[in-house]
Amino acid sequence: MSRAILWFRNDLRLNDNPALNAAVRECDEVVPVYVLDERYLERDRWGIRRTGPYRLKFLLESLYCLSECLRDKGSRLIVLKGLPEGELPRLAKEYGCSRIYASKEYTHEEIKVEKAIDEACDVQFYHSSTLYDPEQLPFAINQAPDVFTAFRKRVERYAAVPEPLSPPDEIPGPELPDTHIPSVESLGFKMPPADERAVLEFKGGAMEAHSRLDHYFWDTESLSSYKETRNGLIGADYSSKFSPWLANGSISARTIYYEVESYEAEVEANQSTYWLKFELLWRAYFRLVAMRYGRRIFFPGGIQDKAVDWKEDKVAFSNWCAGTTGDDFVDANMRELLLTGFMSNRGRQNVASYLVHRLKQDWRKGAAWFESLLVDYDVCSNYGNWMYAAGVGNDPRDRIFNTGKQASMYDSDGAYRQLWLKEHELAAAAFIEQYL
């Protein structure tokens, strides 16, 4: 009899999960495990907590949903807190597992952990978070096009997005203990009160991901006007809001891609439906950048290793974090982030440009702040977009945004700024301490 561990990482789903399908196909019994990596709960080199309460809550909800889905298939989820490279070999021994199945990650720290586990156990990795299978791309990773448009044209023409996999009917396994998922508070975090101005009440888990998809595509047909609304700032439906579920893998990019294709066949295909696929390509592209450049995506000079003299101004940085810079468009966006864990793409581009080009602060501090706060933090998308904004990524141009002009274009009646600036006596101040 063969038994294996299925190590869940940023693939918290049963649908379209190649590692899960392979484990069930190749082994008699499967032991599903998630390790809450304690390093992600610590502070980084700037003293910022790497995971803030918004994403932590979302993650715990996602784990709860995953554990319920596993239970429906006759299995259980083991949730542990610690270091995966310590916990997994120990569990493999305890349960007599000869192999570990897992999804691949593409960034430095995660790869280090993979290597450490690989030294102790037999591990098989699968590509679950990418749109395209990296091994089937029409170019070698180290020769991948550096410019997004060139990448997009090559993959659109020469690569196919693999069809999503169906989940296994059953997940056989040994008798496992009841799942215990810690609370946000038990992990030492204080949850900010829900803010009614939030674009959406994000709830973690595959079920919620699919109901958001149904809402955006089938119930409201918002997808049909995505290209016109995607630069919006207020409300649930100006953009898909799929990012938090995509980030922890509650839903796969391939599932969304094929759902767009179904929509195109059944409702309509227009520029907006294409544009959602186009944005998924940006996500795919930043994964490729991470695969190709490794640690360099975390260098102060980015993948270009450009010499830039970043300034160190703690006051300017904490004003930026708290939304008290004096630039009302930047401040409104930063307060939305602080009080809800989300910010629009338009907002992100503006506040990033302001921190880097106006305040001349190290872009990695901004990226670290986003890492802590964002409910949808994704290492490749975050560091890739920040490098881009800082002019140290694939596009060497300085992408300087005139925030005043941007505000008059995208918030012409001032409604967004009014929404977030009106009650400033910082509710935010109460929460900022737990981050900084």
The residues that touch ligand FAD, with contacts defined as CB under 6 A, are 230, 239-243, 246-247, 276, 279-280, 282-283, 286, 344-345, 348-349, 352, 370, 374, 376-378, 381-382, 385-386, 389
CB-based burial of residue 188 (10 Å sphere; 0-12 exposed, 13-18 middle, 19+ buried)? exposed
Cβ distance to ligand FAD smaller for residue 173 or 249: 249
Q: Nearest approach, Cβ of 351 to ligand FAD (angstroms)?
A: 8
Cβ distance to ligand FAD smaller for residue 6 or 233: 233
Cβ distance to ligand FAD smaller for residue 296 or 424: 296
Alpha-carbon distance of 400 to 384, in angstroms, equals 17
Number of Cβ within 10 Å of residue 144's Cβ equals 20
Q: Nearest approach, Cβ of 21 to ligand FAD (angstroms)?
A: 23
- Beta-bridged to residue 124, according to DSSP, are 101
End-to-end alpha carbon distance in the chain: 51
Cβ distance to ligand FAD smaller for residue 5 or 206: 206
Alpha-carbon distance of 86 to 77, in angstroms, equals 18
* Position 265, amino acid: A
Cβ distance to ligand FAD smaller for residue 3 or 277: 277
Cα 271 to the center of its chain, rounded Å: 25
Cβ distance to ligand FAD smaller for residue 239 or 273: 239
Q: Nearest approach, Cβ of 219 to ligand FAD (angstroms)?
A: 16
Q: At a CB cut-off of 8 Å and minimum separation 6, what does 135 contact?
A: 127
Q: Nearest approach, Cβ of 383 to ligand FAD (angstroms)?
A: 8
Closest by alpha carbon to 135, among 291, 248, 258?
291
- CA separation, residue 182 to residues 61, 148, 312 (Å): 10, 41, 37
Q: Nearest approach, Cβ of 226 to ligand FAD (angstroms)?
A: 7
Lookup result for tokens 């992990």: 187
The 8-class DSSP code of residue 218 comes to I
The 8-class DSSP code of residue 143 comes to G
The 8-class DSSP code of residue 158 comes to H
Q: What is the β-pairing status of strands 123-126 and 78-82?
A: unpaired
Cβ distance to ligand FAD smaller for residue 80 or 368: 368
Complete edge-to-edge strand list for the sheet that includes strand 123-126: 78-82, 29-37, 3-8, 99-103, 123-126
Q: Nearest approach, Cβ of 67 to ligand FAD (angstroms)?
A: 24
The 8-class DSSP code of residue 168 comes to P
Cβ distance to ligand FAD smaller for residue 81 or 227: 227
Task: Take residue 183 and report the two structure tokens written for it.
Answer: 């609370």
Cα 345 to the center of its chain, rounded Å: 14
- Residues of the chain by 3-state class (helix, strand, coil), percent to 5: 55, 10, 40
Q: Nearest approach, Cβ of 118 to ligand FAD (angstroms)?
A: 27
Cβ distance to ligand FAD smaller for residue 247 or 330: 247
Cβ distance to ligand FAD smaller for residue 101 or 106: 106
Q: Nearest approach, Cβ of 282 to ligand FAD (angstroms)?
A: 4
Q: Nearest approach, Cβ of 288 to ligand FAD (angstroms)?
A: 11
Q: Nearest approach, Cβ of 228 to ligand FAD (angstroms)?
A: 12
3-state secondary structure (DSSP) of residue 100 = strand
